[in-house]
Amino acid sequence: MSVRVGFTKFRQQMLEQELEGIEAMLPNLGVEQVILTGDMVSGDYSPDSRIDLIIVHKTDLCFGRRADFFSWHLDSGVAVDTQVYTPEEFEIYRESLPALKLACDNGRVIFNA
């Protein structure tokens, strides 16, 4: 049991360190807002915890291709899961999509231009 507890704490520290690096990059990527969600907000870490981000970014790419930009630019040693919405989509869907509403209600804004 103590090995798992130790590894979970190690994973938490690793994620927090990687998030600091990501936060430093955000002003250079043209994003409007970034919301941290998931395990890092709930504090319920596990060995497979990752950094979960909702990103508001002006783009012409289709929804399925938007995360590619951030996968390339957010150089991280841990898994980073991004959901990217245009500003218009974010305003429309933040109240109507249950998962997005929950993430916005419980998430933590880590960048706001």
Q: Model confidence over 8-24: pLDDT tens digits? A: 888 899 999 999 999 99
Q: Sketch out the chain's domains with CATH numbers.
A: 2-112 (3.30.460.10)
Alpha carbons 83 and 96: distance in angstroms, whole number: 16
pTM: 0.90
| Cα-to-chain-centroid distance, residue 107 | 9
What tokens does 37 get? 């969600």
* Structure confidence at residue 7 (pLDDT): 78
Q: Model confidence over 80-91: pLDDT tens digits? A: 999 999 999 999
Count Cβ atoms below 10 Å from residue 107 Cβ, excluding itself: 20
- Do 72 and 86 contact (CB within 8 A), yes or no? no
Alpha carbons 84 and 66: distance in angstroms, whole number: 6
Count Cβ atoms below 10 Å from residue 43 Cβ, excluding itself: 7
